Amino acid sequence: MADNLKVEELDQVVVRFSGDSGDGMQLAGNIFSTISATVGNGICTFPDYPADIRAPQGSLTGVSGFQVSIAADKAFTPGDKCDVLVAMNPAALKTQYKFCKPTSSIIIDVDSFKKADLEKAQFEATDAAGAIAEMGIKQDVIEVPVTSMVKDVLADSGMDPKAMLKCRNMLALGLVCYIFNRDLSIAEKFLREKFAKKPAIAENNIKVIHAGYDFGANTHASVSHTYNVVSKQTPAKKGRYMDINGNKATAYGLIAAAEKAGLRLYLGSYPITPATDVLHELSKHKSLGVTTVQCEDEIAGCASALGASFAGALGVTSTSGPGICLKSEAMNLAVIMELPLVVIDVQRGGPATGLPTKSEQTDLLQCLFGRNGETPMPVIAATSPADCFESAYAACKIALEHMTPVVFMSDAYIANGSEAFKLPNLAEYPAINPPYVPESLKGTWTPYMRDERDVRYWAVPGREGFAHILGGLEKDSKTGAISTNPENHDLMCRLRQSKIDKIQVPDVEVEGDKDDADLLIVGFGGTYGHLHAAMDEMRAAGKKVALAHFRYINPLPKNTAEVMKKYKKVVVAEQNLGQFAAFLRMKVDGFAPAQFNEVKGQPFVVSELVAAFNKLI
């Protein structure tokens, strides 16, 4: 430990690891967040990948970042800016410096600031000092000879030089662990498990981490102070946790729901960024009976999932916005056939291919309305990485119990970002009871007979006495035969709508100054953390602010209109040009909110939110 150094106690710190996309920054960041979570800190991570498959080494477009915020209590966001920036090469320093605060410490691998490296990042300077001067950097820069130290530490390991260089990230991680007073034993355990089959690699990495840590401890001159973020534990937080990102949590929610419903989980999918990890995750779990089919296209992904539902499975398809365009046809079919189907939309920047690795909320109206005909469909938007589990479970429950396709919306930010996830106990989750047609109806049953919720019954092929046909043509509400009768069609459109309207969803919760707020912030989906952090900051400054954040978009919670009309000033903040605001205006008579809209592909910046919201009060 740092004996003579000042240890600064903080409530929240943010570290950003950055380097070439091959430098292992995501892994270093991941280990650091896991260590912090293990000691009880709140964590929130944000991986920032380049869109290029493999940009030229050392180039400005090839920089990969991983930001992690660790907090004494809950970490709502990965942080606007970082307290420590790790830049493994000049390109990283140049592109990531903008995330630094005036007080940040910057760690660079001075060995990778040679003339040739600097040229690749378009510096005029020929060494690290020159580069720092060229950028006008005033903050502390800790120049660490990462590459040469790694080579020294591993000199006797028998590794070839190329393999040695892959451990540079661990040296940086070791130093960061020193700065934040983190216990290396957790990192050791992590690496030994990750490389269980290659123990030599684990041990070499561990040696390098220690070298980085010791470098910090031995060179007080270059490290002015260290930080400690003490965990503030409350009884409510008690329990076992794991680190989870949104895509994994989504996959887990689907698995949990299928198990609860006693159904086979079928995923029909087609690879697309940033949703592919849902397919990857589910593909691993065949021992749970999960069936994944990587289809020939997005269309078949959705169509085959619907076929699986017809055959009695929980049919799911996963994609991002461009895939929703292609799936809309089969989603439509699911509406008229009234079969369960869960459609996962991990939103990215659009239109078309847009910004494949970046995050937006621009698919909302597409998910709500992007189909022909009257095609109401429940829409649920997950609010955080861990909430993807709850929301995916809820989406499955609604789909199965109300015999309807459901859109589950996530986004690139929560899909790739991670946070601590309390291990759920499935026994405590609500049962999922699909409306199987009762045996007593044999002989009198027709496919569009409905219960009091306007939900039709599910007759799974293989049951004798219930053979029937479904299809895309309008059916008679009583006989189930094809019908073009105008009155019948009007009735069927209303029944399909009424079925969705009758779905019970929880009231939207108002947080903060719910009784006397001067400003109500309204949001939906993945922006929850940022909007909450903005509210906290404003309240800390003495402002009266509340937040109503929506997970259930369609149907809207019953108290929506009441909440929207209760406050003097309402602002709807979203990462699009006003889609949720438009939907609320459509659903709440006379509602005229202020709007905060941004479509940058990046998470909101809390300080910008606060500045904009302050102007409204």
CA distance 137 to 141: 8
DSSP alpha helices (H): ranges in 71-198? Answer: 90-96, 115-120, 128-135, 146-153, 161-165, 168-179, 184-194
Using CB under 8 A as the binding rule, the residues of this chain from 475 to 494 that contact another protein are 481-482
Strands ordered across the beta sheet of 405-411: 291-294, 265-269, 314-319, 341-347, 405-411, 379-381, 552-554
Using CB under 8 A as the binding rule, the residues of this chain from 558 to 597 that contact another protein are none
CA 130 to each of CA 126, 194, 256, 315, 479: distance values in angstroms, whole numbers, following the listed order? 6, 39, 55, 59, 82
CA distance 363 to 365: 6
Q: Pick the binder of another protein from 63, 128, 300, 606 (CB under 8 A).
A: 300
Question: From the CB of 283, what's the least distance to another protein, in Å?
Answer: 10
Closer of 8 and 297 to another protein (Cβ): 297
Geometric angle at alpha carbon 462, from 457 and 465, rounded to 5°: 65
DSSP alpha helices (H): ranges in 285-376? Answer: 298-310, 321-337, 364-369
Using CB under 8 A as the binding rule, the residues of this chain from 230 to 259 that contact another protein are 231, 233, 237-243, 252, 255-256, 259
What are the structure tokens assigned to 304, written together?
A: 């085959």
Using CB under 8 A as the binding rule, the residues of this chain from 173 to 202 that contact another protein are 189-190, 193
Q: Pick the binder of another protein from 18, 21, 33, 34 (CB under 8 A).
A: 34
Closer of 374 and 608 to another protein (Cβ): 374
Asked if 1 touches another protein (CB under 8 A), the answer is no
Closer of 464 and 589 to another protein (Cβ): 464
Q: Pick the binder of another protein from 27, 37, 149, 249 (CB under 8 A).
A: 37
Q: Pick the binder of another protein from 114, 220, 285, 453 (CB under 8 A).
A: 285
Instruction: Give the CA radius of gyration of the chain.
Output: 27
CA distance 265 to 145: 51
Question: From the CB of 537, what's the least distance to another protein, in Å?
Answer: 26
| Contact residues for 198 (Cβ-Cβ < 8 A; gap 6+) | none
Q: Pick the binder of another protein from 14, 108, 153, 299 (CB under 8 A).
A: 299
For residue 163, what is the DSSP state?
Answer: H
| Contact residues for 487 (Cβ-Cβ < 8 A; gap 6+) | none
CA distance 555 to 342: 16
What are the structure tokens assigned to 64, written together?
A: 């990969």
Question: From the CB of 264, what's the least distance to another protein, in Å?
Answer: 6
Using CB under 8 A as the binding rule, the residues of this chain from 314 to 333 that contact another protein are 315, 329-330, 332-333
Of the ranges 3-11, 171-179, 229-237, 531-539, which one interacts with another protein (CB under 8 A)? 229-237
What are the structure tokens assigned to 168, written together?
A: 């540079």
Nearest to 378 by CA among 261, 551, 162: 551
Q: Pick the binder of another protein from 25, 154, 191, 303 (CB under 8 A).
A: 303
CA distance 380 to 401: 15
Q: Pick the binder of another protein from 266, 270, 445, 457 (CB under 8 A).
A: 266
Closer of 150 and 388 to another protein (Cβ): 388
CA distance 2 to 554: 54
Question: From the CB of 88, what's the least distance to another protein, in Å?
Answer: 25
Would you give the binding string for another protein spanning residues 404-433, x where CB under 8 A is met? -------------------xxxx-------
For residue 456, what is the DSSP state?
Answer: B
Asked if 264 touches another protein (CB under 8 A), the answer is yes
Is-contact 256 388, C-beta < 8 A? no
Closer of 309 and 362 to another protein (Cβ): 309
CA distance 335 to 405: 6
CA distance 391 to 383: 8
Using CB under 8 A as the binding rule, the residues of this chain from 331 to 350 that contact another protein are 332-333, 337
Of the ranges 65-73, 263-271, 358-366, 569-577, which one interacts with another protein (CB under 8 A)? 263-271
Closer of 179 and 244 to another protein (Cβ): 244
Question: From the CB of 472, what's the least distance to another protein, in Å?
Answer: 5
Is-contact 147 20, C-beta < 8 A? no
Asked if 40 touches another protein (CB under 8 A), the answer is yes
Asked if 22 touches another protein (CB under 8 A), the answer is no
CA distance 234 to 253: 26
Question: From the CB of 289, what's the least distance to another protein, in Å?
Answer: 6
Kindly state the number of chain residues that form the binding site for another protein, as judged by CB under 8 A.
Answer: 73
Q: Pick the binder of another protein from 436, 472, 504, 506 (CB under 8 A).
A: 472
Closer of 199 and 289 to another protein (Cβ): 289
Using CB under 8 A as the binding rule, the residues of this chain from 149 to 178 that contact another protein are none
Question: From the CB of 370, what's the least distance to another protein, in Å?
Answer: 16
Asked if 600 touches another protein (CB under 8 A), the answer is no
Q: Pick the binder of another protein from 408, 466, 552, 567 (CB under 8 A).
A: 466
CA atoms within 13 A on the CB side of 521: 34
Closer of 264 and 566 to another protein (Cβ): 264
